[in-house]
Amino acid sequence: MKINTTINGKKHCLDVKANAMLVDVLRAAGFKSVKFGCGEGMCGCCAVMINGKPRNSCITLAGLAEGAEILTVEGMGNPENPHALQQAFAESGSTQCGYCNPGSLIAAKALLDSNPNPTADDVKDALDGNLCRCTGYVKRIDAVLTAAKAVKKTSKTVRGKK
Amino acid sequence: MLKKLTRFYYPETIEDACKYLGSKDEKTAVIAGGTSEALRQDNSIEALVDISRVKELNHIRVDSSSIRIGAATPVQNIYKSTDLKGPAGELLKTVAGKIGSTLLRNSITAGGNLAAVFPWSDLLPAWLVLDAEVVLRKGKPKRTVPVENLLNEKPAKFMAPDEIIAEIIVPTAGKGTGTSFCKFAKTANDYSMITVAALISIKGDSIVKARLALNAVTIAPVRCHEAEKMLEGKKPTAQLFAEVATAVAEKTEVRKDFRASKEYKREVLEVLVRRSLEEACVRAGK
Amino acid sequence: MAKTTRKTEEKSVKAVNAAKVTKAAKAKKETKAKKPVKAVKTAAVAETVSAIPVSPLVFEKPEKFEQVNHSLTKIDAMGLVCGVQKYVADVDFKDLLHIKVLGSPHAHAEIKSIDTSSALKVEGVVAIYTWKDVPRVVRTTAGQGFPEPSPYDTCLLDNKVRFVGDRVAIVAAETPEAALEACSKIKVEYKVLKPVFDPEKAMEKGAPVIHDEKDCRVPIPIFYDPKHNHCSHVETAVGDVKKGYKNADYVLERTYYPHYAQHCPIEPHTCMAYLDEYDRLVLRSSTQVPFHARRITAQTLQLPIKKIRVIKPRIGGGFGTKQEVLLEDVCGLVTLRTRRPCIWALTRAEEFMAARTRHPMVCTIKSGVKKDGTITAISMRIISNTGAYGSHALTVLSNCGSKVLPLYRADNIEFIGDTVYTNLPVGGAYRGYGATQAAYAMECQMDEMAEAIGMDPIKFRQKNHIKEGESSPIFKALGEGREGVDMAIGSCGLGKCITEGMKRIEWDKKFNKPGTGTKRRGVGMCCLMQGSSIPEIDMGAVFIKMNEDGSFNMLLGATDLGTGSDTVLGQIAAETLGCKLSDMMVYSSDTDMTPFDVGAYASSTTYLTGGAVITTAKKVRAQIEAVAAKMMGEKLEDITIKDGVCYGKGRKNFVSFARVCTYAMYEHQQFQIGAIGSHISHASPPPFSAHFAEVEVDTETGEVKLLKYVAGVDCGTAINPTLADGQTQGAVMNAISFALTEEYIFDEKGRMLNPDFGNYKIWSTKDLPVIDTFLVPTYEKTGPYGAKSVSEISINGALPAIGNAIKNAVGVRLTRPPYTAEKVLAALKELKSGSGKTVTKSKK
């Protein structure tokens, strides 16, 4: 069957098997940042934003994404022009093997989108579904708080210019 | 692995959803968040009816007498709701926040959590202590039944194939009522080993209404009617709560699994029931 | 086939002899090695060099660090967070086959027959292989130096299965679904054999023999007795423990049971295979040991090494489990037989059941102590359960002694260890590597001893721990598969780790103050040491070449598995060359492109390969200086370098690195500025650490809440402090959930019941206690810029520190981790009823 979705701002019409999981469909479409870790929605490395909400793509049937807007980290930024969260993750030492980063960044972005002034506890709550075996989470939590400040600063400057 | 699945339907109204579900030509099933592993492993389903875009199923409405939650509402929306307040609203928020993780809570829906009846469906004991009712729709026609009835008969059996859970209605509780919830698990996002929900209303110096429900420790969610009777009309004392807790622990049929021994779970259950009642009582006084 | 294996053995003996020859040659000061090399014309070889390089014993300390000891951003970080860095599965191939391996449902069985006919009829199935279809080559899956100190007891496929999940058949199909369906249609007739799960029972007379095949053997002359399930044995003694116990005021004995655990890299083991344009087999693998993977795959598939290339792209964590050659042989077989590319990624359940685990152990410690705090004797008796195969059986076992016993002074020490086969999941390398298990037992015992003599546990440790300039006879007595290397401690910051950690956990305020009520609090601590590389065994090599913009390509065999070693080694190179990290382009772990390195294990990469980086960068720097001197007409000894610029005397003349390379490449006596270098270490200096935990125990439910965890680490010079700190935090977090929630639960048939993240609980952000980590800088002369290892040590702390904190809070000593609420409550009840005495304590 065919599904129509918007991935990272671009429209895609994808030919998929009805029982395909979104993670496989996205990876086949070239969005390799979406990782496979457990296949049961427990580790979070496959998380993508579906209509503004971070969800596990490994247990989400691709058919559920019909008409949806999907965001992966490729759509958040690139090495030349990274998102404040990507910048903060890279600079803080929050990335070791990096395999869990795309999912964690998506979850972190969802947090900042809904709460621009998070506390450390808010961050812990928002990232509770993204397992990381390398870093021990401490630096990641700091990175999200740093990025929140950076996002606020840029949005202020933009507003100031207006 | 949904080997027979060939298509999805995306109804926008409850009527349309029910129509697809009632189809005699193909085997259909309802899907919203799609987290149910049982559903993903089903090899007889031919078409899935995605109810996540039915607007009338996705809402949290609060008025002076009740809280109404649409079946397709992600439990994360309950957890993060700013409208839910008071003893009932706070209880629902607390419980919703203890389900899975953020990523799962965005997929798990209020109705899915109710229909699937897993031991770790944490909202179920909360619905029971809140005397929640569920609105079932079969196209236009609807019936409103207590959640307890639905659970007693298992939703899959209770409901017709073309019937869906539309809404859950919870009466709000006023002053003098306190609620509490305990989840016992290995880690924060672990499956529950024991869940206990309690509600206590106090007038003067006696308990006028008591509700107590359990899940996870039992095979299916249970409301502890006998315990409630032991509490109602009595003065809330530490001793009473301890006695009730002992009675509940003794009478509960504890589920066997590999995570902890039955004996141990029974012991902890007693502690948690006592603590839940104490906490609900303290909150009732506030 | 038998012939081939025998040949390999002969080779191994030769290799050992060769090693001896190397040593002899070194002793003769390279008199014979001065054979002129052909390329004498180039300026670089003008100096007299030996054909066999000698690794330096010490590295000098520069006045100031420019690039190392700075928290520079990891060079691959931006690519990783933007999702553009590629892991194994992130490339596309046309006609890719998907592999699934049918696992055994039985813990111990003979395969009587296999019928694949209906499985082959499944649409999309391309090939199925059983034991009948592949050559029988016994070897080890342990990615260790050659010849490996692990038994050759594993085949590609066998006609016997030895644990639930053991390989039965390989299926290759067009889709993963087809492969899976075919697996379900393979009909296997088993003769189920009696299994044995308890390592102590496995050693008893009449126990089922797990390796009754005739061809299992050890490739080096070490103990091996498979007929009694006895996989390895280590025994060493210093002084006379009997005398030690006689002189003690107290003698204590207790047995501890560290448990099974899995590494849980978020990326499961993944391997892709394809044939390149020269019809060579390319393995794109999530491996920590690309060169060992190439060698072992060649051995298994009976190919010459030159036919195989192993590429390690980014990998999603390893922690030791990817030090195992688990997938490469299967993928290689499928691609060679079908001539099609293929991929195999383990499922999470397979990762738990059929990849590798931490060896569970039975650790019995007996120790004697005097009232004044002198430890008179320590006996450590270990029974290690290696599961169905003997991967790392000997070395994990010997590390129990060698990475733990030297920490405290004692005149009389005895170590006896045995590794035993059982029909359970296979043990392997796991961060900590034996030290985790033994440090748990030892550090609990330290608290018990302190309590017996009424001394503060910290004072007791301060009195006894090893200090700078001291040595331990254990260093020499226990090596890896052979005798160890004698050494004295050159750097030790443990004292500072302890005092600073005490402050941060507020020890004096909290120790022995459990409070009243149902929830009691306590603090506990432990001291740790590890090693840095395997001395005089492991080798790392590096190649650096210069480009005409003044940048450098550095090609490393060393394997960055997410640790940041590409960055750390880049910093060391930049420091030595006199340029910035941003001018280092690091490419690692490709057996065609990069020089050899043993790989990422034994806490070696920074310490060992870092040495090779300095050696190589120095050679390159000498070439740059020589060209610059010539260009400027200055004397060689007057040349100085700073930030990619060469200066003449008094800094009047200068030429940039870009000019130097351009000149060397295009203008006069043209040559490529570049060099290759290798390094072995002659010591394995221990990093040191002190860990502290504060817990709150719910005495009604047994729940343990970890409130705070403090870890101080002396890793010498931290080449990149942020990354070193990240290693500590990650190891601490892993150790904490290992101590409190991670466990393998088996049914009576040896099947793991919880092989998924839903039921095997590793911690998430919401479980996080306050974590406070700090580094205590020291300078280790034998390490590059003073560095020692940092990656493993901190995984050893949580079991004893939390165990000691629980004891401090509620008075129970838990010996069977993880410390689940159920076990804590049971221990509390035992304590109440007075039946909780398991320790033999005698006062004289």
pLDDT in tens, A116-142: 999 999 999 999 999 999 999 999 999
Pair A93, A143 in one domain: yes
Could you tell me which of A86, A53, A47, A45 has the C-alpha nearest to residue A69?
A53
Q: Where are the domains of chain B?
A: 7-53, 56-171, 177-284
pLDDT, residue C802, reads: 98
Hey, what domains does chain C have and what are their CATH numbers?
59-85+539-680 (3.30.365.10), 93-193+269-345 (3.90.1170.50), 361-534+683-843 (3.30.365.10)
d(CA C729, CA B30): 44
pLDDT in tens, C380-424: 999 999 999 999 999 999 999 999 999 999 999 999 999 999 999
Pair A69, A120 in one domain: no
On whether residue A162 sits in a domain, the answer given is: no
- A 74-103 residues inside an 8 A Cβ radius of C: 74, 76-79, 82, 85-86, 89-93, 95-102
Which 8-state DSSP code applies to residue C73? P
Judged by CB atoms closer than 8 Å, whether chains meet at B35 and A125 is answered as: no
Chain B contact set for A55 (CB, 8 A) = 33, 103, 106-107
Pair A99, A49 in one domain: no
Minimum mean pLDDT range among A77-91, B72-86, C114-128, C465-479: C465-479
Pair A62, A48 in one domain: yes
Q: Packing angle between helix C798-810 and helix C435-453, nearest 10 degrees?
A: 30
User: Which CATH number is associated with domain B177-284?
Assistant: 3.30.390.50
Domain termination site, one of A75, A104, A122: A75
pTM of the model: 0.95
pLDDT, residue C841, reads: 53
pLDDT at C377 over 50: yes
Could you tell me which of A47, A55, A18 has the C-alpha nearest to residue A132?
A47
Comparing B140 with C482, the larger pLDDT belongs to B140
pLDDT at C41 over 50: no
**What domain range includes position A20?**
2-75
Assigned fold of B56-171: 3.30.465
Q: How confident is the model at residue C613 (pLDDT cuts 50, 70, 90)?
A: very high
Comparing B182 with B1, the larger pLDDT belongs to B182
Interface membership of C79 toward A (CB under 8 Å): yes
Average pLDDT over residues B154-179: 94
Pair A37, A102 in one domain: no
pLDDT, residue C12, reads: 42
Pair A103, A119 in one domain: yes
Domain termination site, one of A60, A75, A90: A75
Chain B contact set for C700 (CB, 8 A) = 271
* B114 phi/psi in degrees, rounded to 5: -85, -40
Pair A84, A70 in one domain: no
Ordered DSSP codes for B164-213: EEEEEEEE---TTEEEEEEEE-SSTTSPPSEEEEEEEEEETTEEEEEEEE
Q: How confident is the model at residue C641 (pLDDT cuts 50, 70, 90)?
A: very high
Token readout for B185 is: 């698990």
- Selected for mutation to probe chain B from A122, A128, A144 (highest B CB count within 10 Å) is A128
Beta strands in chain B (DSSP E): 7-9, 28-31, 47-50, 60-62, 66-70, 133-137, 142-146, 164-171, 177-184, 194-203, 206-215, 222-223
What is the number of structural domains in chain A? 2
Q: How confident is the model at residue C104 (pLDDT cuts 50, 70, 90)?
A: very high
pLDDT in tens, B76-94: 999 999 999 999 999 999 9
pLDDT at C6 over 50: no
Chain B touching partners, 3 or more CB pairs below 8 A: A, C
Judged by CB atoms closer than 8 Å, whether chains meet at C766 and B258 is answered as: no
Judged by CB atoms closer than 8 Å, whether chains meet at A133 and C729 is answered as: no
Interface membership of B184 toward C (CB under 8 Å): yes
pLDDT, residue A68, reads: 98
Report the mean per-residue pLDDT for chain C.
93
pLDDT, residue C840, reads: 52
CATH value at residue A32? 3.10.20.30
pLDDT in tens, C659-683: 999 999 999 999 999 999 999 999 9
pLDDT at B107 over 90: yes
pLDDT, residue A159, reads: 55
| CA-based nearest distance A63→chain B, Å | 6
pLDDT, residue B284, reads: 96
Pair A71, A83 in one domain: no
pLDDT at C11 over 50: no
Average pLDDT over residues C465-485: 90
Chain A touching partners, 3 or more CB pairs below 8 A: B, C
Judged by CB atoms closer than 8 Å, whether chains meet at B102 and A129 is answered as: yes
pLDDT, residue C16, reads: 39
Judged by CB atoms closer than 8 Å, whether chains meet at C761 and B271 is answered as: no
pLDDT, residue C517, reads: 94
pLDDT, residue C25, reads: 41
Chain C touching partners, 3 or more CB pairs below 8 A: A, B
On whether residue A160 sits in a domain, the answer given is: no
Query: Cβ contacts of residue C46 below 8 Å, gap of 6+?
Result: none
| CA-based nearest distance B184→chain C, Å | 9
d(CA C371, CA B230): 59
Q: How confident is the model at residue C14 (pLDDT cuts 50, 70, 90)?
A: very low
Percent above pLDDT 70 for chain C: 93
Interface membership of B190 toward C (CB under 8 Å): yes
Pair A53, A114 in one domain: no
Judged by CB atoms closer than 8 Å, whether chains meet at B187 and C754 is answered as: no
Nearest-5° Cα angle at C743, C742 to C748: 165
pLDDT at C754 over 50: yes
d(CA C169, CA C186): 8
- Selected for mutation to probe chain B from C122, C123, C519, C701 (highest B CB count within 10 Å) is C701
Bridge-based pairing of strands C640-642 and C645-647 is antiparallel
Chain A contact set for B48 (CB, 8 A) = 61, 63
d(CA B100, CA C22): 59
3-class SS string, B102-120? HHHHCCCEHHHHHHHCCCC
Q: Which residues of chain C have a Cβ shorter than 8 Å from any chain B Cβ?
A: 177, 700-701, 737, 741, 745, 747, 753-754, 758-759, 761, 763-764, 766-767, 820-822, 825-826
pLDDT, residue B120, reads: 80
In this structure, which amino acid lies at residue C237? A
pLDDT at C842 over 80: no
Pair A54, A27 in one domain: yes
Pair A112, A66 in one domain: no
Q: What is the interface size between A and C, counted as CB pairs within 8 Å?
A: 179
CATH value at residue A93? 1.10.150.120
Judged by CB atoms closer than 8 Å, whether chains meet at C729 and A138 is answered as: yes
pLDDT in tens, C779-823: 999 999 999 999 999 999 999 999 999 999 999 999 999 999 999
Pair A118, A133 in one domain: yes
C230: Cα within 13 Å, side-chain hemisphere: 14
pLDDT at B212 over 60: yes
Q: Of the candidates A42, A90, A138, which has its C-beta nearest C757's C-beta?
A: A42
- Complex ipTM > 0.90: yes
Whether B56-171 shares its CATH topology with B177-284 is answered no
Domain termination site, one of A75, A97, A124: A75
pLDDT at B51 over 90: yes
Which 8-state DSSP code applies to residue C268? P
pLDDT, residue C38, reads: 46
- Selected for mutation to probe chain C from B187, B191, B254, B275 (highest C CB count within 10 Å) is B187
pLDDT in tens, B130-145: 999 999 999 999 999 9
Chain A contact set for B37 (CB, 8 A) = 40, 59
Could you tell me which of C443, C435, C416 has the C-alpha nearest to residue C359?
C435
Percent above pLDDT 90 for chain C: 91
- Whether residue C818 is preceded by a cis peptide bond, meaning omega within 30 degrees of 0, is yes
